[in-house]
Amino acid sequence: MTDKIRLMIVSGVREQGKDMFAVQVNDEIFVLDAGLKYPDSSLFGIDVVIPDLDFFAEYGDRVAGIFLTHGHADSIGALPYILRQYDIPVFGSQLTIELAKIEVQRENKTRKNGLFHVIDAETEIDFRNASVSFFHTTHSIPDSLGIDIHTPAGEIVYTGDFKFDPTASEHYRTDMDRLAEIEQKGVLALLADSSNAEAAFPNAAEQDVADYVTNVFRNTPGRIIVAAKGSNLNRVQEVLDAAKATGRKVLLTGRDLAKIVRTAMKLGYLEVADGLLMRVKDLKTTPKEKTVILETGRMGEPLQSLEKMANNRHSMINIEKGDLVFIATTPSHAVETMVAQVSDMVYRAGGTVIQLGLNVHTSGHATGRDLQLLVSTLKPKFLIPVIGEYRLMEVHKELAIRAGMKRENVIITKNGDCLEYDAKKKRFYLTSPVPGEDIMIDGSGVGDVGNIVLRDREVLSDDGIFIAVVTIDRKKKKIVAEPQVTSRGFVYIKANRQLMKDAIEVIKQAIQNNFEHKKFDWTELKQDVRNDLEKFLYKQTNRRPVVLPVVMEVNQNRHRIQQKNEAKKEQNQGQNSKPANKKQTKKPNRPNRGRKVGSRRPVSKKGHTGKNVKKQVAKKTQKQTDNE
């Protein structure tokens, strides 16, 4: 029997972030990473985007586990939403699992700790149809791992986010010997990071980056505000070391950063000198030239927090004259515009900006040379570029061809593609797709915001909304009250009174035409009003606002009340016409208990009958009974 081997691209190609891939070997599926991505400006109001959860609805009973490469949001961010519905084992290094637990607990207060399993680079897990092992990789967070799935047809290797840096410290160093061992087994397919494939220059050694950060701190006379991703522990360590070397104290802002730092310190991945960290209340007493504020923002994204600081809207810190904002993370292409805008705001507030990425070429992702070195080391039969936008995947493909791979063996995919291996022909071919759509998270809603809602939000942001309210009497087929119109974000009403008057006439005509030529239907009536208004407003203004017609009917409540009264009358008539032989029971007359008819019982201030009054009534009633 031929083994069935499939590569499922759920998400993470032709985009930046939201990494999730799967390898199927017969009836077992191994999921590689489960990340999220942060939305760009086109996704109005969306908080984050995650992979298609329909994948687990369709294949969940065959998923053997989710295997994590590292602790960044693009690798672990979708776990809270997956584990909310499905009990699937999760495997990762010690730090990765601890960060995953923090991520899950933030969204789900009751997390399922029994699903998390800690592994390391020496671990090998045997399943029915395959075995899974791991190897150390270099990234901006310690204990990052690559994943190797041993199948009957050969090794399938997934790098996750990685780069090569021979000078990296122990917790960040790639295990080149392990890569050589995997190559000896024969690599069938390599899924490799494409995020930094365009980089023409090699990444600077992390020791050089640390020296640069220290020099910036030493040459800054005032307060320093460092903007960095909280999960970039390598950069956090360099900031802490630079502060210690220059005699400064560090304030950590945000709960997320504090949790991450405490977790990394507890596990020994972060070294913090005694007395280096300070509290918010210490800001007033600590000199500015001795202060470093490490800002990561909500969910590890610092730019929005910097914007609030520059506009005096931050809860704790405002940017003042003489402050240095040190952007210590190389921004992705998607947020470069936002970085420029925030930098402008900082300068307006009196501060200055230094971007690490403009002065030192550093990234947590492999350059073109690194990718070619990886191909030369593993010698895969097939390469599937992942984790990167389309142009980066194409660059990755050309780099691999120059490194000796055949063009037809480098496969560019899209989200939802499923590649099945034909052992006889020794090639991959496309088969039935897997769920690969985006799931958008807006507040507590998961997937309830789709393209239609986003299109409405886009229209609202561009041309605003136009609301028309009209009351009709459908029986008499006439408009009872003059239609009322208003708008928001469309036109200035006071300067466009004639437009509003003309719009009212359009509404009247649309309703009258509907009465005369169509059988009454609420949906059709509203649609007629909407269509006529949209045409009229576009003709007059060349704008397409969202038109919201509100049509009400007069006397609806009166008709309902009449129906209820008639129903009650019929019910009473039915009760009065009972059989005559039925015994009529008469309630006995109750004694007056000493009170006149219509008199009121005294009430205390608290609203209850007073004790003294109760006693007096009881005595009076007893006397009447004795006399009788």
The answer to whether the CB of 19 falls within 8 A of the CB of 386 is: yes
User: Of 250, 254, 263, 267, which is closest to residue 300 (Cα–Cα)?
Assistant: 254
As a whole number of angstroms, the distance between CA 549 and CA 511 comes to 11
CA 53 to chain CA centroid, Å, is: 13
Residue 604: exposed, middle, or buried by beta-carbon count in 10 A (0-12, 13-18, 19+)? exposed
Cα separation, 497 vs 487, whole angstroms: 12
Q: What is the pTM of this model?
A: 0.76
Task: Convert 456-489 into a string of H (helix), E (strand) and C (coil).
Answer: HHHHHHHHCEEEEEEEEECCCCEEEEEEEEEEEC
Compute the distance between CA of residue 523 and CA of residue 513 in angstroms, rounded to an integer.
Answer: 15
Return the pLDDT at 6: 97
The whole-number pLDDT of residue 602 equals 47
Positions in the chain short of pLDDT 50: 580-588, 591-611, 613-614, 617-618, 623, 625, 627-628
Q: At what angle do helices 255-267 and 233-245 cross, to 10 degrees?
A: 90
Q: Which residues contact 161 (CB under 8 A, 6 or more apart)?
A: 69, 70, 72, 74, 75, 137, 139, 144, 193, 195, 364, 365, 387
Overall residue count recorded for the chain in this entry:
628
Grouping H, G, I as helix, E, B as strand and the rest as coil, residue 559 is helix
Count CA within 13 A, CB hemisphere, residue 33.
Answer: 35
Q: Distance (Å, rounded) from C-alpha 127 to C-alpha 401? A: 34
Name residue, tokens 């035409």: 513
DSSP states along 48-99: EEE--THHHHHHGGGEEEEE-S-SSHHHHTTHHHHHTT----EEE-HHHHHH
pLDDT at 354: 94
Dmax over CA atoms of the chain, in Å, equals 122
Residue 457 is predicted with a pLDDT of 65
Known binding-site residue numbers: 361-365
- Rounded distance, CA 7 to CA 428, Å? 9
What are the structure tokens assigned to 91, written together?
A: 């495997």
Annotated binding-site residues for substrate read 361-365
Q: How far apart are CA 131 and CA 395, in angstroms?
A: 32
Neighbours of 251 (CB within 10 A): 19
Supply the pLDDT for residue 577.
Answer: 53
Q: What is the pLDDT of residues 247-280, one digit of tens each?
A: 999 998 866 777 888 888 889 899 999 999 999 8
29 phi/psi in degrees, rounded to 5: -120, 130
Q: What is the DSSP letter of 545?
A: P
Q: What is the Cα–Cα distance from 194 to 161, expressed in whole angstroms?
A: 9
Find the radius of gyration of the CA atoms of the chain: 35
C-alpha–C-alpha distance, residues 35 and 19, integer Å: 5
Enumerate residues 6+ apart whose C-beta is below 8 A from 196: 163, 363, 365, 366, 367, 392
Q: What phi, psi does 472 have (nearest 5°)? A: -125, 165
